């Protein structure tokens, strides 16, 4: 939903005016374009240049930060998964991969709509692109929901977690969630087409209904479900802390010793993973809700008449409200894009295993450098010793 908001605005522009030919006053109008999408783009540059420049030059910063941070996170979490076979590490590694893929796909959309480069205007590539693009947007909430369910069961229903959250099931769960995301996105193939040389969405009722239904499911119902489960996890964790602080009777101590081994792993591993999960979930919900609201408001602030000259557009109340909505949308979209770029900072703050694994990597790197330096010094010493023994000038005085 985050990135389809921009596309929807352009679709409104095309559907509102069809294939009209502009008849503006070229002596005063700087946006004399026959194609509605190009004129819409030019109008926004004339009326909201700050928003357009922010869209062009702020987004590459998120790309750099996200691609580098997610790559580091993937490397660290896969190392931890190989060392400890931890299902939480597997989920977070998969999330890093999908976030990077989404940023790469977002580049195509950004080049097409923000810079005017024809990256999507190809008959087959256009619909396939949006199937994959929406799949990557759907995967992230599904992964977080799956991870939350796993944490919920391990904390609230610890005796069932051994059966439900087995390590062998982790890859299967990730594959199943990925398949569900793709299945929800397949109708996008029938909703996008290249008309008049431009990749644009269709106005079919089925596509519109499916898009709204899938967006509400993934971007509203799933996050709310995740929030409810997180609140239940916090409640269960709070009760557990209060219970451990209570003085134990002799029977409770004996019972605790009897069950200590059974609960030891659960008690030691729940806290870091849960803190990381809760932070990621709340942050993504915080960035998702404003995007969802601005998405719904786009139909409240439609575009005005394209045939008006720029001077009249600047005075039009309809266009003024639409431009104000567009500026707010660009700001919110940039904040929303950060959810795919800033996970590494959450891991550094909340995930002690992540920090420990990073230290271990740096130690191995430093140790490797020291070994290389020691090896080179030994080779130099060995070479100098041989040269001394073979130099005849050193034996003249003997």
Domain residue extents for the chain = 52-297+342-371
Residues 6+ apart with CB under 8 A from 194: 121, 122, 123, 126, 200
264 pLDDT above the threshold of 80: no
Lowest mean pLDDT among 136-150, 212-226, 361-375, 383-397: 383-397
The better pLDDT of the pair 16, 211 is held by 211
Closest by Cα among 184, 137, 276, 282 to 224: 282
Per-residue pLDDT averaged across 75-103, rounded? 87
d(CA 398, CA 33): 97
d(CA 146, CA 139): 10
Q: How confident is the model at residue 21 (pLDDT cuts 50, 70, 90)?
A: very low
pLDDT of residue 379: 59
Cβ(105)–Cβ(136) below 8 Å: yes
Q: What is the separation of C-alpha 71 from the centre of its chain, rounded to a whole number of angstroms?
A: 12
317 pLDDT above the threshold of 80: yes
Cβ(181)–Cβ(139) below 8 Å: yes
14 pLDDT above the threshold of 60: no
Per-residue pLDDT averaged across 254-260, rounded? 47
Cβ(192)–Cβ(201) below 8 Å: yes
- Give the DSSP H or E segment for 192: strand 192-195
136 pLDDT above the threshold of 70: yes
Pick the CATH number of 52-297+342-371 from 3.10.180.10, 3.90.380.10, 1.20.1070.10, 3.40.50.300: 1.20.1070.10
In this predicted model, what pLDDT tens digit does every residue of 270-316 receive, in sequence order? 456 778 888 888 898 889 888 888 877 877 888 888 778 888 888 88
d(CA 356, CA 335): 30
Neighbours of 11 (CB within 10 A): 18
The rounded percent of the chain whose pLDDT value lies above 90 is 29
Lowest mean pLDDT among 157-161, 239-243, 255-259: 255-259
In this predicted model, what pLDDT tens digit does every residue of 336-393 receive, in sequence order? 999 999 999 999 999 888 888 888 887 765 555 555 555 555 555 555 555 454 455 5
The better pLDDT of the pair 153, 385 is held by 153
In this predicted model, what pLDDT tens digit does every residue of 156-179 receive, in sequence order? 776 665 565 566 777 888 999 999
Lowest mean pLDDT among 42-51, 201-210, 229-238, 377-386: 377-386
Which backbone phi and psi does 38 adopt, to 5 degrees?
-70, -40
258 pLDDT above the threshold of 60: no
pLDDT of residue 90: 87
Q: What is the separation of C-alpha 305 from the centre of its chain, rounded to a whole number of angstroms?
A: 36
The better pLDDT of the pair 21, 71 is held by 71
d(CA 78, CA 171): 13
Cβ(68)–Cβ(53) below 8 Å: no
Structure tokens at 269: 């591993």
């Amino acid at each position: 939903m985050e990135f389809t908001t921009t596309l929807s605005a352009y679709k409104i522009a095309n559907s509102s005016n069809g294939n009209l030919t502009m008849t503006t006053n070229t002596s005063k109008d700087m946006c004399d374009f026959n194609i509605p999408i190009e004129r819409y783009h030019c109008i926004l540059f004339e009326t909201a240049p700050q928003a357009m420049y922010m869209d062009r030059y702020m987004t590459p910063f998120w790309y750099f930060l996200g691609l580098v941070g997610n790559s580091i996170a993937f490397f660290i979490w896969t190392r931890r998964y190989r060392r400890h076979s931890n299902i939480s590490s597997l989920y977070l590694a998969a999330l890093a991969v999908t976030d990077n893929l989404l940023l790469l796909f977002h580049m195509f959309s950004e080049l097409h709509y923000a810079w005017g480069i024809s990256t999507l205007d190809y008959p087959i590539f256009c619909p396939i692109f949006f199937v994959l693009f929406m799949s990557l947007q759907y995967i992230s909430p599904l992964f977080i929901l799956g991870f939350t369910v796993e944490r919920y069961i391990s904390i609230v229903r610890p005796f069932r977690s051994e059966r439900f959250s087995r390590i062998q099931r982790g890859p299967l769960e990730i594959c199943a969630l990925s398949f569900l995301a793709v299945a929800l996105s397949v109708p996008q193939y029938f909703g996008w087409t290249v008309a008049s040389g431009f990749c644009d969405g269709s106005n079919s009722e089925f596509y519109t209904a499916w898009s709204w239904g899938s967006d509400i499911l993934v971007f509203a119902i799933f996050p709310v479900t995740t929030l409810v489960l997180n609140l239940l996890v916090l409640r269960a964790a709070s009760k557990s802390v209060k219970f451990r602080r209570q003085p134990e009777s002799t029977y409770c101590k004996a019972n605790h010793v009897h069950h200590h081994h059974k609960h030891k792993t659960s008690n030691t591993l729940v806290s870091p993973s849960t803190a990381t999960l809760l932070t990621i979930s709340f942050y993504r919900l915080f960035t998702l809700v404003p995007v969802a609201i601005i998405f719904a408001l786009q139909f409240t602030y439609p575009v005005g008449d394209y045939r008006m000259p720029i001077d009249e557009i600047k005075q039009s109340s309809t266009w003024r409200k639409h431009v104000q909505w567009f500026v707010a949308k660009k700001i919110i979209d940039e904040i929303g894009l950060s959810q795919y770029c800033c996970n590494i900072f959450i891991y550094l703050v909340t995930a002690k295993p992540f920090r420990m694994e990073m230290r271990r990597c740096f130690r191995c790197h430093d140790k490797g450098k020291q070994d290389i330096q020691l090896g080179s010094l030994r080779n130099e010493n060995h070479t100098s010793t041989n040269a001394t023994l073979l130099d005849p000038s050193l034996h003249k005085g003997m």
